[in-house]
A and B are shown apart, each in its own frame.
Chain A
Amino acid sequence: EPEVTQTPSHQVTQMGQEVILRCVPISNHLYFYWYRQILGQKVEFLVSFYNNEISEKSEIFDDQFSVERPDGSNFTLKIRSTKLEDSAMYFCASSGTLAGQETQYFGPGTRLLVL
């Protein structure tokens, strides 16, 4: 069964450093998403991406964040200058369509720790 993959599984970085989290969505999907889950809190939507541009973003997704689909398979989330509060599990997801009832398939997540 096709699945979403994410690398790395864990990343430790120093405050102020840039990090890039990588995702490979399911190959025939067109819509891509990033979510985060701070320890002990809810999963929160960050951004959605379609046709090489951001479709929607939450207030969490400020200028420190950016997304990119650099080639036909990868989907990346960049945090320009990490803060302590960026420590969280980051999930990538993809779906075939954008409808609210469409299932989003999630990757296993990248656990980011900012020191």
Chain B
Amino acid sequence: AQSVTQLDSHVSVSEGTPVLLRCNYSSSYSPSLFWYVQHPNKGLQLLLKYTSAATLVKGINGFEAEFKKSETSFHLTKPSAHMSDAAEYFCVVSGSGGSYIPTFGRGTSLIVHP
């Protein structure tokens, strides 16, 4: 079985300050991990994915995430928040036990203050 826990339902930062969105996962096998972003009235857009290659994954819009097996974490970071980063972010795990069906976290709402 696989599961995802996004530790914060809301994260609030000031523009220009670092962003940290936390995600922990549970998986029986080496999983694939994804971060998706959803802007209002838009679909889910892939930010980045980890698929057992480099543990530090760089994505679009300056985001990156580090896969830490010992901590079962896949936290999303960005050095400097921009107003346009305000959105809902979803951590997703799949591939556990050969299943392609992804399991979504509850989402973290990122609020960016001017």
Chain A: residues with CB nearer than 8 A to chain B? 3-4, 6, 9, 41-45, 48, 56, 58, 91, 93, 98-109
Contacts and interface: CB of A to CB of B under 8 A. Distances in A.
Given A100-B96, A101-B49, A103-B49, A91 B44 contact: yes
A15 B68 CA distance: 47
A64 to B, nearest CB: 20
Nearest to B106: A42
Nearest to B44: A106
The secondary structure that dominates the A interface is: loop
Contacts, number: 57
Contacts of A4: 43
Nearest to A100: B95
Given A99-B100, A101-B51, A101-B94, A108 B46 contact: no
Contacts of A56: 101
6 contacts: A48-B100, A56-B101, A99-B95, A103-B34, A103-B46, A108-B42
Contacts of A58: 101
Chain B contact-residue range equals 20 to 34
B74 to A, nearest CB: 14
A6 B41 CA distance: 12
A63 to B, nearest CB: 20
A104 B102 contact: yes
B90 interface: yes
A48 B103 CA distance: 14
Contacts of B43: 3-4, 6, 91, 106-109
Given A99-B95, A108-B43, A43 B104 contact: yes
B45 to A, nearest CB: 8
A100 B98 contact: yes
Interface string B41-58: 111111001011000000
A100 B100 contact: yes
